[in-house]
Structure 1
Amino acid sequence: MFKKLLAIMLTVAVAFSLVGCGSDEGKIKLAKYKGVVVYKDDIKVTDADVKSAIDNALSQSAKEKKVKKGKVGASDKVNVDYKGQIEYKGKKEAFEGGTAKKQDIDLAQDAQNYIEGFTSSIVGHNVGDKFTAKMKFPKTYTNKAKVKGKEVSLAGKPVWFTFKINSLTKKETPKLNDKFVKENAKTLFQADKDIKTVKELKKYIKTEMRKYNIS
């Protein structure tokens, strides 16, 4: 590899600089470097490496599209109405702060903002669905809420959330084909030459990855 070759060249240069001092003192004996083979092909870039690089680039160029039909996935964004109820004096009653209209939720990023089971209960339902899911506030939950004007603790209490899914936002990842490559190779893949086909793109990326690994 080029790094090995560079190391050998530097060793030789240092050796000659010491020998050239005009004195026997400080002379060094060169190690055997003849016959050392340096192969550029030692750098291995697999098809899986190339595919991973392309997939990452395609993911970065994905566009969001709001749809009014479809099933909710774990990485989608949704707009929902929801109403939470807890048991109070033998009845299910709404509690302050547990209701929202047209709430946007990123299911992949916002899960930590809600109690366990809140966002996951939405996954798998369709736009337009109305449903109720039961979950429980953590025992360590410190927030309190008013129910019929009286403040109560929510810690450890069962809660029922009724949802209505208004809309769904999905990420659309572009398909890798010759047309996409021709239009985006220079901007998306920083290609310094005209690349018009998927085959040319893969070859280019493999070459660039090998350059990066050698440098």
Structure 2
Amino acid sequence: MKKRLLALVLICTMAFSLSACGKKEDKAETKTEKTDKTSKKKVADIEYDVDEFVKLGEYKNLEITLDGEYEYSDEGFDEYVSKTISEAAIYVEDKDANEIAEDSIVNVDYVGSKDGVAFDGGSAEDQLIDVGNNSSATGGGYIEGFTAGLVGHKVGEEVAYEVKFPDDYGNADLAGQTVIFTFQVNYIAKAIDSKKALTDEIVSDKFGYDTVDAYMDSLKEKYTASLENNLKSDKQTAVLNAVLNNSKVSKVPEELLQARVDMYLSVYDKQYQSYGTTAKEYFESMGQDYDAYVESMKTSIQESTETELILEAIAKAEKIEIDEAGYKEFIQGVLSSSGATDETSFYEVYDVDGYTGERYFRQAYLTQKALDFCIDNANYTGAPAEAE
């Protein structure tokens, strides 16, 4: 069985500010109208007995094997440092290099001109160029031939040559035109890809730490935290999959599944409404099949809701209940990560017929508690002794 995520994750990974949506309440709405809405939802509340749909298998004392990296080692830390530095894409002047090669990274100022006059957007200073890939050293390509004339020239030289813009270039004034780009070669650069290449000056300039040692101390803290996060994540994934493999859902209550689908589509549409369009209109404008997307999304929701039902059944079997203090901390974390401030307005974003937003998040908290119970009661091989 493939890995599944809780339903909460499916909704909350959508990238938009829920606080903005929550503030769009119609101020002209009367108290009576609000009461009617509340009454309607109360009458239509979805009810089901989870035991009718879930057959639980083993979920306690599971034997779990973990094979990740969870304990600090000098070798692992060195690899982490090298990866972090490499991903930072730091370049400094290579004082031993003087001539531009085909694979050089070179720092230049350049000016683009047409008929002897510099054109808008064609000039820049202190640019790191990847000559071999005809691109910026930090990503983003140039028009064909932009860097072709630099090879063989030396630091300090001024280099000028013709470059032709493509016929379909976005700027009509330049499309298909041949222009002159003039480059001032400032220096040839080299990548900083190891701790040995760092200096206090580089660390201060690029990372904001006074010394290399101070920067290493910060990376050691981050590396240690990443190991702890890896262990927590791998435990959750392994235990969840074991629980799902051992249990079976005969079917998802139709009303519950429809509520989940309605909730997802409603939240998704609110994201695009904030930009003056709808999800369907956006997909169609991008030449994509919205209906096909919805069908695919329904499959994911079906799976996540099955996961939720299994965990709900465990919570029921173990008499796990929502503790209000714990839930308060949970929902405050959700509010903070979404940018929302008002709890009531936040819930309303997720309200659908038969299932309120508040009920949804309380259920999400309960199912997470059930999963935590399974994690705490599993037996682990491959985890640090103190973490078991």
Question: TM-score of the superposition, structure 2-length normalised?
Answer: 0.29
Higher relative contact order (CA 8 A, sep 6+): 2
Bigger fraction of residues in strand:
1
Q: Could you say which structure has the higher helix fraction?
A: 2
